[in-house]
Structure 1
């Protein structure tokens, strides 16, 4: 089965390319073009009045799509922003203690690590890291204001499987538990229904939701972080009638809003979600397609000198294969010279799989690797 027709614009834009980096920058399906154009058309037709539509039906539709994917009880707990970093900054600002005691895995993404490192330098944060296997025991043996863990680690593809146990530690007064779902959302089936009242969840449309930039979201449980110190006037939409000098907040996830933003990402996100729904392309269906391609690649034994960090075989798997080897960087650049897009992080080569690939693409990849190693 092939779904290349859903990505005809992106594939035609670079016909010879083999794009095996869907975990990095997922190619945009044709539906995203339609969504992007709809954003422009609304801006042209509605001008100043476009925000009533954006913060009304466009916003609500996007919330419904995310809530359905994650099985969230209440879509109103969701807020959107241009990136997840905005949410992390606002969340930490809502914690009254200083310095903030943070526990995280030792495999978090660069933006989180950089921001935490800078906060440590400034005295705002005391940071401790643990391996994914040791995170829960460390969280249970000491008090932290914030516990932060990726559902799927960006570098190795390791899946953190103790989300329920971490959620059991969460309290409105602390600790707050934050799940970074960027490599899990729409890559592995995720049901937050039993822990939605205790955990924050971050993700966005850039990767497996196929919507591009600008459509990140936060699920914020009621009663947690009710008054972020870093805030913007959009967070007060329900409290614009407050007397001067009082800072009000929306009663739901919108309390994490900032100010004016580019809404086109939400249009693209909705358009892509509607396309996936009409095609019957659930996360489970896409994952099955990807798993078959991953297995085909591994059967080719193309990288015998590399260590596969995330072998197949479990009930869930990242959408990419992570290979560790001394020549990872060199191989990445050799493949780039053949118009094959992969991704390298230090000594780890990541090869990502997606709907816009088929068995012929994997065969071509195996052949090209044999030619350049």
Structure 2
């Protein structure tokens, strides 16, 4: 089945172009444009009272949709923010800066977390244990050993690693071995909407952060986090949304929090992206589109992509350069490691000049796959690589 027609406006703006970077900047389906306008119209009608509709109708609707998508028991466990870093720092602000903080993580976390933790580690009270994800074949064992070895206060790891596309260890394989008091945060940004995910058995143990920018296709501005139902943490970095229900009451010296996920909420934000996200999830529901069906479609695309590379026989893009070869345990982008960063930059520029968009980090070149691709699209890639080889 082709989904191209649902992205007509983005395709109209990028004719004769193969966009192989949806893991970075995903095209938006047409339904998001009407959602964008709906937010404006609701703001015009409601003015100050638009919050009644946003918090009374829109937010609960998207909470229900996400709970169904991720098999989270209680929709009220979801809280929203403009970006994942805001949510992450609220979790970090629950820890007393005067007390020791021991963190376990990997060397393959996205910049918002890795940069923040590097900065925090300048404090003498913060100790960070970093586990290399490579070699991938032994990572699950090494990660489990690290989880067992120490009573970490915070454990942070990705569901799918952003710099390789490799899926991390199954959550249920290691979470039970963490110390009971450990706060566990899972970065689901490259998994949510791409990899079939059920949080049913861990939703009351972990914080799961993701957002609409990538595979949920609704653009920037709507990130979310699941919060365990028994959570009593009190983020120091807090805003008026975090106790919205009691806003009209007298504000005493003691700071109270919502009893659901919104205890980690912040303050006023633009909810346009939440409208767009609702429109995407409504479209999926209406047309019977599931994450499992999207994943199956992408796996067909990935096979066609590999076939195209095999036929092209480009000297820099061979099967051997693919970082991870367990293709059934892979996210929705492939990462190829070339000998030098200069070669990656040059090859990416050559592809861009010929209408193929990719993205790269250092000596790693990434190709992503999306609903708006068809198997036939990769004949263009094959032909371009043959031309470049000549």
TM-score interval, normalised by the smaller of the two chains:
over 0.9
Contact 1:344 1:350 in 2 (8 A): yes
Match of 2:116 in 1: 115
Matched, 1:269 2:277: yes
Matched, 1:292 2:297: no
Match of 2:149 in 1: 141
After TM superposition, the structure 1 = structure 2 runs for residues 250-261 of structure 1, keeping only pairs within 5 Å, are 250-261=258-269
Question: What's the CA shift for 1:76?
Answer: 0.5
Helix, strand or coil at the partner of 2:122 = helix
Matched residue pairs, number?
A: 371
Paired residue for 1:323, among 310, 322, 336? 336
Structure 2: distance between partners of 1:116 and 1:225: 23
Match of 1:340 in 2: 356
Match of 2:136 in 1: none
Structure 2: distance between partners of 1:49 and 1:169: 47
Contact 1:166 1:177 in 2 (8 A): no
Match of 1:201 in 2: 208
When residues 150 and 276 of structure 1 are mapped into structure 2, their CA distance, relative to the original with a 3 A threshold, is same
Match of 2:93 in 1: 93
Match of 1:350 in 2: 366
Question: What's the CA shift for 1:372?
Answer: 2.6
Match of 1:248 in 2: 256
Q: Residues 165-207 of structure 1, C-alpha deviation per residue, up to 9 Å, x if partnerless?
A: 33214566x2111110000001110111011111110000100
Q: Residues 228-251 of structure 1, C-alpha deviation per residue, up to 9 Å, x if partnerless?
A: 011011111123324432211111
Match of 1:310 in 2: 324
Match of 2:194 in 1: 187
Match of 2:290 in 1: 282
After TM superposition, the structure 1 = structure 2 runs for residues 150-189 of structure 1, keeping only pairs within 5 Å, are 150-170=158-178, 174-189=181-196
Matched, 1:31 2:41: no
Structure 2: distance between partners of 1:114 and 1:160: 21
When residues 239 and 171 of structure 1 are mapped into structure 2, their CA distance, relative to the original with a 3 A threshold, is farther
Matched, 1:229 2:255: no
Contact 2:335 2:367 in 1 (8 A): yes
Question: What's the CA shift for 1:276?
Answer: 1.3
Q: What stretches of structure 2 of length at least 5 have no aligned partner?
A: 134-138
Contact 2:148 2:178 in 1 (8 A): no
When residues 265 and 171 of structure 1 are mapped into structure 2, their CA distance, relative to the original with a 3 A threshold, is farther
Structure 2: distance between partners of 1:191 and 1:268: 23
The alignment's TM-score, normalised by the length of structure 2, stands at 0.91
Structure 1: distance between partners of 2:333 and 2:217: 15
Helix, strand or coil at the partner of 2:267 = coil
Helix, strand or coil at the partner of 2:127 = strand
Question: Once structures 1 and 2 are overlaid, which stretch shifts more, 105-114 or 299-308?
Answer: 299-308
Structure 1: distance between partners of 2:57 and 2:284: 19
Question: Once structures 1 and 2 are overlaid, which stretch shifts more, 258-267 or 278-287?
Answer: 278-287
Helix, strand or coil at the partner of 2:151 = coil
After TM superposition, the structure 1 = structure 2 runs for residues 65-84 of structure 1, keeping only pairs within 5 Å, are 65-84=65-84
When residues 124 and 7 of structure 1 are mapped into structure 2, their CA distance, relative to the original with a 3 A threshold, is farther
Structure 1: distance between partners of 2:205 and 2:69: 18
Question: What's the CA shift for 1:312?
Answer: 5.0
Q: What stretches of structure 1 of length at least 5 have no aligned partner?
A: none
Structure 2: distance between partners of 1:44 and 1:306: 56
Contact 1:205 1:215 in 2 (8 A): yes
